[in-house]
Structures are given as C-alpha cells and as structure tokens.
Amino acid sequence: MHSVCDAVMSTKEEAKRREGFKIALVQLSVGPDKAKNVAAAVSEIHKAKEKGAHVVALPECFNSPYGTKYFNEYAEEVPSGATSRALSRAAAEAGVCVVGGTVPERCGDKLYNTCTVWDDSGKLLAQYRKMHLFDIDIPNKITFKESEVLSAGDHVSTFDYRGVRFGIGICYDIRFPELAHLMAQQGCSMLLYPGAFNMTTGPKHWELLGRARANDCQLWVGLVSPARDTDAGYVAWGHTTLIDPWGQVKGQLDEKPGVIVEDIDLKVVEEVRSQIPIRIQRRTDVYDTVSKNK
Ligand SMILES: NC(=O)CC(=O)C(=O)O
C-alpha cells in the first residue's frame, strides 16, 4: 500500500524528471580490435552511470575504424549482433538509456551506418540509418565516398525517454537543416549527432554546424566524436560538444578520450522558444508559394 508520503515523493520525483536529466557524451578511443572497442564502450557506460548520467551517448563508428575498407569486415546485424547485445546488456545493467553511436550494420546484402538506442531495460528503442552519405572531394585535403559501400537510410528517427523526445542524426546529416527541422517539428528537445568530422572539415564546420542546428531549432544538441588517432587512415577531429538551445557551447572536449557529463535543463528550450518565437513566425505561406512557382 502506498502512503501519502510515497505519493508526495513520486510527485516530487516526477516534477524533477520534467525539469531535465543528466547526459554523458563519451569520446572513445577506437582501434582495430572490435572486442576491445566494445568493452571500452561498456566500461564508459557504467562509469557514466556512477557520475549520475541518465542518458549515455557514444560516437560514430565506435566498434570499427572509420573507413570504407572496414565497414564490410566489422558489420553486424541489428539487434542480433555482438555489439547490439553488449549495448543492450550494458544499458540494462547500468540502468541508463544508451545512444549507441554508430556501427556498420549488415542487412541482407546491404550495409548501413546505423545508430541503435537502448532503454534502461535493454530494449531497442530506436534504430536510425545515416540518411545523407558522406561523399565529398576537397582536392589535396580529403576525398571520401561512403556510398561506395554503404546504402543510405530513408527514415527519420526520434525516441522518447524520461518524457523527453530526442532526434538522431549521424555526422554528415548535420549539414542538412531540413532533417533537424523535421525532428524539431516532431517535438524533439534534443538532437544527438554521433559524428566523426576530420582534420579538414572539423575545425571549419563541426562546432559551427552544431551551434547552427541548436540555434535554428531552439533545442539542445550533442555532438559525439571518437578521439583522435593520428595513425588512423581517417583522422577524427574529436571535440565532442554539448550546445544549449541558445546556441552556446556548454561543454567541449579536445582531441583526447574523455567524457562530458552535464545537466540538461529542459526549461531552457521553452525559455528560448517563447522569448524568440520563430517557430510560430515562419512565413511558410511565402516559402511554399515561391518554391512551387520556381
Ligand atoms: N564523416 C562525415 O560523415 C561528415 C564529415 O566529416 C563532414 O561533414 O565534414
């Protein structure tokens, strides 16, 4: 039987839940040994829980080096693969929600760059396949063509945890404001982008794009990178970053392995949206007419 005291406690807990939660953004060091990469992720999930995190987010391609020549070899099915099973177990044992960065996913004869999300009972909450593939050519700097081996996803993916709606994008997806806007329209208060920018685009665009998406959608943004390994074929920029709905950087790592653990205050989302009400001021009447008559 529940006492009045229990009821007061649960109302207080519910009110506290509505105010926000604690997130951990984990910048992992990733190497060629898949089992070691996954074990490191599991260990960081448990450490984040000890620091009070409710949601733990991992980087893009955290179980495999990032590169088209690795995806087939490291690919696993979701949710039956060893990495999925390890994340599910870690989420349940630690009692946290795990946003499992990305892994190369095998589905039939196709490969995807996929993020899985696990709730605190280990259940698969969401599965998102990178929608915009990273195909670029910057002469004498970097040429990359994910589409040589990966297929693109074609579903937007959001999930709810502790009464909060989150949206997921993967790395190059952050360059497409349309996707972020869709997820904001669907009620997201936070967007999480596992990503691995590089030494050319990282310093130019990583923080800029994160702040842009936070500012134009008026929500929290978390960017989660692998740590930099200068011996790797693809050298990641690192700089895992947390940005608030004002577009301000609330936490940022350098290139080394590390973790950001921060409180996410959901009141800030409402504060920015009510004080600068761009969401209800859009001139879709004009935009729609102009784009139809183009
Ligand atoms: N690696 C990516 O998907 C994206 C990237 O590095 C960039 O957009 O720059």
State residue 277's pLDDT score.
98
Q: For residue 214, which of 240, 233, 241 has the smallest C-alpha distance? A: 241
Q: Which ipTM was obtained for this model?
A: 0.98
State residue 17's pLDDT score.
67
Model-level pTM greater than 0.90?
yes
Instruction: Tell me, in angstroms, the distance from the centre of ligand 1 to residue 290's CA.
Output: 31
Residue 4 has pLDDT above 80, yes or no: no
Q: Are 59 and 38 in contact (CB under 8 A)?
A: no
Query: Is 60 one of the annotated active-site residues of the chain?
Result: yes
Burial zone of 199 (CB within 10 Å; 0-12 exposed, 13-18 middle, 19+ buried): middle
Q: Are 55 and 23 in contact (CB under 8 A)?
A: yes
Residue 5 has pLDDT above 60, yes or no: no
Q: Probe ligand 1: pick from 197, 206, 225, max atoms within 8 Å of CB?
A: 197
State residue 7's pLDDT score.
65
Q: What confidence tens digit (pLDDT) does each residue in 77-97 have?
A: 999 999 999 999 999 999 999
**Buried/exposed 27-58: b ≥16 CB within 10 Å, e otherwise:** bbbbeeebeebbebbbebbebbbeeebbbbbb
Q: Probe ligand 1: pick from 114, 148, 198, max atoms within 8 Å of CB?
A: 198
Q: Please list, in sequence order, all residues whose beta carbon lies within 8 angstroms of the beta carbon of residue 24, skipping any fewer than 6 positions away.
A: 44, 48, 51, 53, 55, 56, 57, 259, 260, 261
State residue 35's pLDDT score.
98
Instruction: Tell me, in angstroms, the distance from the centre of ligand 1 to residue 138's CA.
Output: 12
Kind and range of the H or E run holding 167: strand 164-168
Strand partners, 223: 193, 241
Q: What confidence tens digit (pLDDT) does each residue in 100-133 have?
A: 999 999 999 999 999 999 999 999 999 999 999 9
Q: What confidence tens digit (pLDDT) does each residue in 205-217 have?
A: 999 999 999 999 9
Q: Could you give the CA distance from residue 294 to residue 292 in angstroms, rounded to a whole number?
A: 6
Q: Are 183 and 192 in contact (CB under 8 A)?
A: no
Indicate which residue's Cα is closest to atom 4 of ligand 1.
Answer: 172
- Residue of 34, 44, 60, 115 marked active site: 60
Q: Could you give the CA distance from residue 219 to residue 167 in angstroms, rounded to a whole number?
A: 11
- Residue of 34, 49, 130, 250 marked active site: 130
